[in-house]
Amino acid sequence: MTIKEIGKQIHEWAHRKGFYGASCKADRGLPCPHVGGSIGSHLMLIVTELAEACEADRKGDRENFKEELADVAIRLFDLCAAECIDLEAEIEKKMLANENREHRHGKRY
Ligand SMILES: [Mg+2]
């Protein structure tokens, strides 16, 4: 299963569970109208999941740490599906760009 497929499932689930409106255009290659106006909020929800992961790690709660990282991925994949962003393709492009950068991106420390 690809990241895109996982994201599509998550986004459909979010609609089914009432987190957005009833209809969605994301499956037709158009950004979901229920997310478009609140991308900043969605990004901050990803940050809150990262904060929860940080707190779980601070407490040494490995199981909760893993769960919160899953929450980060779920929210990120949902946002990408809603915005019709092929995250897998973007990761591949970025890793290729990173590969061509200087050692440690030119930093000395
Ligand atoms: Mg969480």
CA distance 21 to 34: 6
Ligand 1 centroid to residue 106 C-alpha, Å: 36
Please report the DSSP string for 12-50 in residue order: HHHHHTTSS-S--SGGGTS--TTTGGGHHHHHHHHHHHH
Would you state the pLDDT for residue 16?
87
Total domains in the chain come to: 1
Ligand 1 centroid to residue 82 C-alpha, Å: 20
Please state the φ and ψ torsions of residue 31, each to the nearest 5 degrees.
Answer: -55, 145
**Model-wide pTM > 0.85:** yes
Would you state the pLDDT for residue 25?
66
Residue 101 carries which DSSP code? S
CA distance 82 to 95: 23
Ligand 1 centroid to residue 41 C-alpha, Å: 15
Q: Is the pLDDT of residue 81 over 70?
A: yes
Would you state the pLDDT for residue 36?
67
**Mean pLDDT in the chain?**
91
Q: Which residues constitute the domain of residue 87?
A: 3-106
Question: pLDDT by residue (tens digit) across 34-49?
Answer: 776 789 999 999 999 9
Q: Is the pLDDT of residue 107 over 90?
A: no
Distance from CA of residue 75 to its chain's centroid? 5
CATH of the domain at 38: 1.10.287
Residues, beta carbon < 5 Å, ion ligand 1? 49, 52, 68, 71
